[in-house]
Structures are given as structure tokens and as C-alpha cells.
Copies of this chain bind each other. A is one copy, B any other.
Amino acid sequence: MSERLVIIGGDAAGMSAASQARRLKGPDELEIVAFERGHFTSYSACGIPYWVGGDVDERDELIARSPEEHRERAIDLRMRTEVVRIDVDGQRVLARDLESDGSGAEYWTSYDKLVIATGARPVRPPLGGIDAPGVHGVQTLDDGQALLDTLRRTEGRRAVVVGAGYIGVEMAEAMMNRGYEVTVVNRGAQPMSTLDADMGRLVGEAMAGMGIRMVNNAEVTKILTGDDRRVRAVATEDGEYPADVVILGIGVRPETGLAREAGLPVGTHGGLLTDRAMRVRGHENIWAGGDCVEVLDLVSGSERHIALGTHANKHGQVIGSNVGGGYATFPGVVGTAVSKVCELEIARTGLREKDAKAAGRQYVKVAIESTSRAGYYPGAALMTVQMLAERRTGRLLGVQIVGREGAAKRVDIAAVALTAGMTVEQMVSLDLGYAPPFSPVWDPVLVAARKAVTAVRKAG
């Protein structure tokens, strides 16, 4: 007897789950119905800044799998259809056809198994002018298209990016690449609040050096518009920043209104709570994954919300395996993230100082400078590596890296070491790849670990 799997949300987590479930169970065993309210499926939202910036030519390059391709795999994908209610007791969802304007556009679909992959929505503070033409988020492909349309129609070349997290700095690069004069207006004292202050300062200085105007400690009070009601400037308490286009990169929140209304468990960060198998806590036949869930931070032991395509894909894979009768788990994250602004590479994993304090961990902090290759090898580029280790135990707590080519992905060494619960002393002996074109004889991460060992010993 065939079961029906219903999936809400047709992007990374949802469609990965669908694909993996289909791999394990054919259409005779498992019917799969997926609802997507937008125009696209399975696309790389993380790629939008590079499309806007011109590194990627065509929108469709960001699409890993089109609706048609999913349908060819016997997935009943219903585009432009929004699920507006989940009836947990009745095991059914109410869907609305967004393209239909008549009655009868809503219908119930029952499920045996449900996957919630509703993603995240960008934060849009309730400021005057925020909905003016020329103000854009960059969360979805539709957002990206709208922004590109604005850029094509607008003559002025001044862009203001609000927010200096990953999306903010990536969009600053994108607009630089498009030839814009770029101002980044940022609430914090330095960009990248996901880094500690010293490391964020390095990023800010490097961005300023690229010709990006960095406005820190600045709270946006209003988006100013002209007589044509189009955006004209971004206002803060201290000043006005002329803008022909404004990009909001303030962050995202889990899109869990639907799940909340259905009584499903939501955590302090607003994300759905699941077990290791990505099953919604307390619900045998409901799974959730991607940007709408909270994940366990393996270092701090607490829950976090991290909107990142790589997690969404892993969640989908795990959910699909479990829904398809296999078994897989997603144990959690260590908080790894990498990014770049033009030539500057930025990476982090594990705890920041404030996370370590919040978690009640005593720590030592060290920072070193080294190079990506042997110093004498062409292209050797400076990088700064900061490392946090726990006092007494010497356990690695976190690593942040800011540098040029060859810097960011070195954070993977620390990500694996964190996952394994290594001490900085164990790290010093790590047998990492060495040859002059690839690393100094001591990899920068090991140089930091050596210094951390000394700091741990001194701290006693």
C-alpha cells in the first residue's frame, strides 16, 4: 500500500528530502507531493550575490534542478502553491494556488508523512520607506531578479547596503563588481558580528581599503524617498547616505508561522525543534529541515539558528533517508562559515569570545599572522588566525581566519578538530599537507595551535 509524503517548500532541504526518499522508494511505495509558493526549486540562494555581481551570468545556473526535472522523478511538484495550514491531527495540509484568482483555489491534501522545509525570511525592520522602489532584499531568486531589474532601470551608481553580516559583505562585493559606489551601514562597531571584534575590525579595514565606505555604530532610522517615491537615501541618527539602490542584508528568521499555528515545537530562536533524525520533537511522522529549524551547536551544547545551504542539503538528505525507510542523523554543527569580499577571505568556526563567556567556559585567546604558502613561494598571502582554547583542558573552542587566497578553507581543519573534541596540544601534531606551494612548513592553523598551547600552560 502506497504512502503519501507531503513536503512544504521546494528548495534545498525539501527537494533533497524528496530526491533521497525517491531514491530509496519508488512511486509504487511512496507518493511524493511537494508544494512551493515561489517560481523556482532547488536553487542556490548563497549564489545570488555572485549572480547580482556578475560572476555568474544566468539565473538558471543557480538552479540545481528544475520543477520539470523533479517531476521526471515522479515527484508531484506543485509550483506557486502555498500551504496555508497544517492540520496535525487530521494529517493534512491546506494548500492555496497562488496563480488562481477564483474560488476553489484552496484544497486539502492528506499525508502519511510530512516534511516542513519552509526556509527563512529576511528581517525587514518596520522603517519608513522600507517598501519604496529601489529597496531590495536578496533572499530568493525572485528578490535577486527584482534587484537586477532595478539596477538596469536606475542610472545612479550609489548603493547602500544595510547590514554587514555575510549577505551584507557579499552584496558589498557584488555592487563593487557592478561599478557602484558602495556604502555599508552597520549597527555594530565593526562588520561581521559573527567574528570577534579584533577580527571584525580586520575585515572592516580591508573593506575600507577596497574603497567601500564603512559606516559603523549606525542604526538606520528611515529610508528617505524622493518626489517619485523612489529611494533617495538611507538615514541614521548621525547622517544621511545617498542611495540609488538599497540592499537589505540584516539577516533572516526561521519561517515557522505555519508550524507554530499547528502547535509544533519552536525554540528560542524561532526555529522548529527536531531530534537527530530531523524528526520534529514529539511527532512521529513530521520532519523538518533547512533554514526553518534550530540545530544543536556541538561546541556550546545549545541550540542555534543557522541559515546555510550546506546544512539544508544535509538535513534534506537525512530526512529523505529516514522517510525512505533508512536511517541517518544530523548530529549538529560547530558553526563553520566562510565568506569573501573581493580578495578578502573570512572564516570562522566554533565559539566567539562572547559565546564562550555565555557558555561559562574559561578560555585563552591567541592570534598569529602567517602565510598561505611558504613565504618564498609566489603568491604567499598573509592571514591572521585567532584561536580560542579552554583553560585547563586545552580543548579547542573556536577559530577565526581573515586573509587572502588560501585562508578561508583552512578553517575546515579546525572544524574537524572541534567535532572530534581535540585539544590544541593534539592539534600541534596534526599531519597536514605540506609543500611550498600550499603551506608554510608549519600550517598557519598549527602556528596558532602552538601559541595556544603555550597560553593554556601559562594560564594554568
Chain B residue at minimum C-beta to C-beta distance from A60: B376
Asked if A340 is at the interface of the complex by the 8 Å CB criterion, the answer is yes
Please provide the chain A residues from 334 to 349 with a CB less than 8 Å away from any CB of chain B in the complex: 334-340, 347, 349
Q: Give the CA-CA distance A429 to B310 in the complex, in Å.
A: 10
Which residues of the partner chain B approach A415 to less than 8 Å between Cβ atoms? Answer: 430-433
Q: In the assembly, how many copies of this chain are there?
A: 2
B47, B349, B412, B433: the one contacting A436 at CB < 8 Å is: B47
Contact A330 B374 (CB under 8 A): no
Please provide the chain A residues from 50 to 73 with a CB less than 8 Å away from any CB of chain B in the complex: 50, 55-56, 61-62
Contact A336 B429 (CB under 8 A): no
Q: Give the CA-CA distance A170 to B410 in the complex, in Å.
A: 24
Binds B, one of A116-124, A197-205, A213-221, A438-446: A438-446
Contact A408 B331 (CB under 8 A): no
Known: A56-B377, A413-B412. A309 touches B47 (CB 8 A): no
Known: A410-B409, A420-B416, A442-B310. A44 touches B436 (CB 8 A): yes
Please provide the chain A residues from 405 to 460 with a CB less than 8 Å away from any CB of chain B in the complex: 406, 408-413, 415-417, 419-420, 422, 426, 428-439, 441-443, 450
Q: Give the CA-CA distance A415 to B378 in the complex, in Å.
A: 26
Which residues of the partner chain B approach A314 to less than 8 Å between Cβ atoms? Answer: 428-429, 442
Contact B420 A433 (CB under 8 A): no
Q: Give the CA-CA distance A406 to B149 in the complex, in Å.
A: 34
Contact B431 A333 (CB under 8 A): yes
Which residues of the partner chain B approach A374 to less than 8 Å between Cβ atoms? Answer: 44, 46-47
Contact A436 B50 (CB under 8 A): yes
Contact A435 B46 (CB under 8 A): yes
Shortest CB-to-CB span from A88 to chain B, Å, is 29
Q: How large is the interface on A (under 10, 10 to 19, 20 to 34, 35 or more residues)?
A: 35 or more
Asked if A186 is at the interface of the complex by the 8 Å CB criterion, the answer is no
Contact A431 B44 (CB under 8 A): no
Shortest CB-to-CB span from A127 to chain B, Å, is 29
Contact B434 A308 (CB under 8 A): yes
Q: Give the CA-CA distance A22 to B57 in the complex, in Å.
A: 58
Asked if A79 is at the interface of the complex by the 8 Å CB criterion, the answer is no
Contact B441 A419 (CB under 8 A): no
User: What 7 A-B pairs are tightest by C-beta distance, nearest first?
Assistant: A420-B420, A338-B433, A310-B434, A416-B416, A61-B376, A333-B431, A336-B431
Given A50-B436, A310-B441, A416-B430, 6 more pairs with CB closer than 8 A:
A44-B436, A310-B432, A313-B442, A349-B431, A415-B431, A419-B430
Can you spell out 15 A-B residue pairs with CB atoms less than 8 angstroms apart?
Answer: A46-B435, A308-B434, A314-B442, A317-B450, A333-B431, A334-B431, A336-B432, A336-B433, A337-B435, A339-B435, A409-B409, A415-B430, A415-B431, A416-B416, A416-B417
